[in-house]
Structure 1
Amino acid sequence: MLSPLTPAYDSILELAPYQTGKPVEELKREYGVSDVVKLASNENPLGCSPHVTLAITEQLGQLARYPDGNGYYLKQALADFNNISAKCITLGNGSDDLLDILARSFVGSDDVIVYSQYAFIVYSMLAKMQGATDIEVPTQRFGHDLAAMRQAVEDNPKTKMVFIANPNNPTGTMLEHKALREFVASMPASVLVVLDEAYIEYSPESNNRALLDEFDNVVIVRTFSKAYGLAGLRVGYALSSPAVADLLNRIRQPFNVSRIALAAAEAALTDQDFIEKTRVSNLEQMRWLEKQFDALGLAFIKSHANFIMVEIEDAVAINQALLEQGVIVRPLAGYGLSDWLRVTVGVAEDNLRLIDTLHSILNDD
């Protein structure tokens, strides 16, 4: 018997709430720890550009006013930055919002979504929310196996969307331009290839903007939450053909990006010196962490983002021990990687705290 609580699709009942990185405040409450280091959510440990602070301050007297629902000035800034028409841009409340808008715009219950094993967990969630079939393709050395993904599309003619994270979260692997272009060229025009470039600033060579000039069935999704340091404001954008952008802008919620977020993102985009500083700092600290993991005898996956996936025996217990000592990292059991932890690259002080704590825990064992 149907009731108001009957979901639109049975697959919704298979969904579990998305597990975010444990907040600092929650850890303090649970364990009574006052000095906490958070290396779990791939946030920028340097914060954000000082240009952002000024832009936010200038908006404080306008909080009673709705934002520009079209985001005109941010779109223009993004158009100039990406050498693309503003008609090709869709703004979102973070990149997750854009991924959701894409699924709701193009994927029906009879359709198929293809994505890689060990890719962003939200992709499978979107399929279930739409009542669609999701096909998870096994990885090749923890990265996207494009040949296998191509075969999956051929085997499933109802495929409507393919998600590719590049660099990938949580593994940090990256695809080469040539291989990715060949994959896109092999896709039927009816299949939308969504490139999730949330970490592009850490590996500028992963920029696949040029594909938009050649293929109408490519969408690139990016965010201001990572390198730009605006995770707390939630703003992202999608680049696509004008036709795709037109559909996305019909589906997205009015005023889905706040006044403060619009101003902050526009200001952040102007300070590419800060992005370069972020990239250099991240690379230096990542190389240091790699040396420390080597010294501890821990295997890791070479990363092109701002985190490192580390293999560690009894990762669940190690993660718990780290929490008890005020260090937050990200366990990956939800990805089927029960022997791995994902560590955000922090500033030198935070990374040293992590390694010292980890060394102490491992020696006690």
Structure 2
Amino acid sequence: MLKVPQYVDKITPYVPGKPIEELERELGISGSVKLASNENPLGPSPLAIDEIAKHTGTLHRYPDGGAYALRSALAKVHGVDIEEVIVGQGSNELIDIAIRAFQTPGDETIMGSPSFVVYYISSAKSGGLPVQVPLTKDYRLDLKGMADKITSKTKIICIANPNNPTGTIVTKDELGQFFAGLPDNILVIMDEAYYEYAADSASYPDSMDYFRDGKDILILRTFSKAYGLAGLRIGYGIANKTITGAMNKIREPFNTSTLAQMAAIAALKDVQHVRRAVEINARGMAWLHKELKALGIDFVPSHTNFIYMDLKKNAMEIYNRLLKLGMIIRPMGLADTTTIRVTIGLPPENEEFIRTLKEVL
């Protein structure tokens, strides 16, 4: 019988948020609300939708395997060389490519815990040694603790800023101190999937400063969140040519579709749409904070489009009861956890979440 490698056998697969269609099919209900996957409830820019329609007649052709037009647009926006830009199926794929490119079996990849689970999976599945560092008491990445874990085997450090699932950030000063003491030959993956929601914070660092200083940094951003293109799976990275060159050597050909590339180019142009999405999110966040305080529920102040909260009750039980009422949220951690993560929706969706939460509590 075929034997699965031990390092693969130990991996717990990534479990995505439950699709609305699946829930409604199972329970025979309609009108469900999904606040589980940190999607933009406003949807994509009308410019992106129009661009998709323009290119449906070319679907019998392979996409541009190098995504030249999209990379050119991104290079112009960020003031970098086109060879310093790489695109992928969301930032997820680029995390995986980077870890496979620079981590060999037995090497260590350092990450926070809890943080984005893909770091652990990508490191473990290639025979690496994921090193998880607990968050601080205020649910933020412990950069000092992560630096203390560096050994001769350390090849990669993953920093989610803002962090998923807690929504917290590391500050300019903290990141500066971290890089000042960082040894050479370690790749820092700055995962900024929620960048647009955090960028206006006075204490949020500009990771491009470290790129310009020549650090071995891979900055990752995505069109899945604030740009509302999650269903097209498109994200990008910025790094020096040594890093992008190595990643391109193992990147799958045609890894992003024509429609995804064209929609992303159009979405980049619609600055007003992204600004509106961020503003709607901020208002929804403030309203939910007020309601959660009234219910006496502990939550972590967030720089993203989701809230991490502690119900002080079995989260899986609450999750399953909410499902029966057509409300999809995200329980966090193991079966006995008490924490959940809830995406900020449009006002009626936020109101429905509070109503159903009150009912099950």
What's the TM-score once normalised by structure 2's chain length?
0.96
Alignment partner of 1:91: what SS?
strand
Contact in 2 for aligned 1:10/1:131 (Cα 8 Å): no
Task: For 1:96, give the aligned amino acid.
Answer: N
Aligned to 2:129: 133
- Mark the runs of 5 or more structure 2 residues left unpaired by the alignment: none
Alignment partner of 1:260: what SS?
helix
| In 1, Cα distance between equivalents of 2:319 and 2:147 | 36
1:13-64: per-residue Cα shift (whole Å, max 9, x none)? 0112210000001111222221100000000000010000110011011000
Contact in 2 for aligned 1:330/1:343 (Cα 8 Å): yes
| In 1, Cα distance between equivalents of 2:115 and 2:333 | 13
Percent identity (aligned): 40
Q: Which residue among 180, 191, 213 is the counterpart of 2:175? A: 180
Aligned to 1:6: 3
Report how far residue 91 of structure 1 moved: 0.7
Aligned to 2:324: 324
Task: For 1:314, give the aligned amino acid.
Answer: N
Task: For 2:309, give the aligned amino acid.
Answer: V
Report how far residue 310 of structure 1 moved: 1.1
Q: Which residue among 45, 52, 76 is the counterpart of 1:49? A: 45
Aligned to 1:235: 234
Aligned to 1:251: 250
Aligned to 1:305: 304
Alignment partner of 1:333: what SS?
coil
Q: Which residue among 76, 80, 83 is the counterpart of 1:80? A: 76
| In 1, Cα distance between equivalents of 2:197 and 2:229 | 15
Aligned to 2:216: 217
Aligned to 1:144: 141
164-173 vs 174-183, greater mean Cα deviation: 174-183
| In 1, Cα distance between equivalents of 2:336 and 2:263 | 36
Aligned to 2:152: 157
Residues 1:337 and 1:262: Cα distance change in structure 2 (over 3 Å): farther
What's the TM-score once normalised by structure 1's chain length?
0.95
1:95-106 pair list within 5 angstroms: 95-106=91-102
| In 1, Cα distance between equivalents of 2:327 and 2:268 | 31
Report how far residue 214 of structure 1 moved: 0.9
Task: For 1:144, give the aligned amino acid.
Answer: L
| In 2, Cα distance between equivalents of 1:66 and 1:42 | 30
Aligned residues: 355
202-211 vs 141-150, greater mean Cα deviation: 202-211
1:313-352: per-residue Cα shift (whole Å, max 9, x none)? 2222111111000000000024x88111100000000000
Taking only aligned residues, the RMSD between alpha carbons, in angstroms, comes to 1.2
- Mark the runs of 5 or more structure 1 residues left unpaired by the alignment: none
Contact in 1 for aligned 2:314/2:336 (Cα 8 Å): no
1:42-88: per-residue Cα shift (whole Å, max 9, x none)? 00000010000110011011000111111111011101111111111
Aligned to 2:315: 315
| In 1, Cα distance between equivalents of 2:292 and 2:29 | 25
| In 2, Cα distance between equivalents of 1:361 and 1:228 | 33
Q: Which residue among 170, 195, 198 is the counterpart of 1:200? A: 195
Task: For 1:293, give the aligned amino acid.
Answer: L
Aligned to 1:118: 114
Alignment partner of 1:43: what SS?
coil
Q: Which residue among 46, 63, 81 is the counterpart of 1:67? A: 63
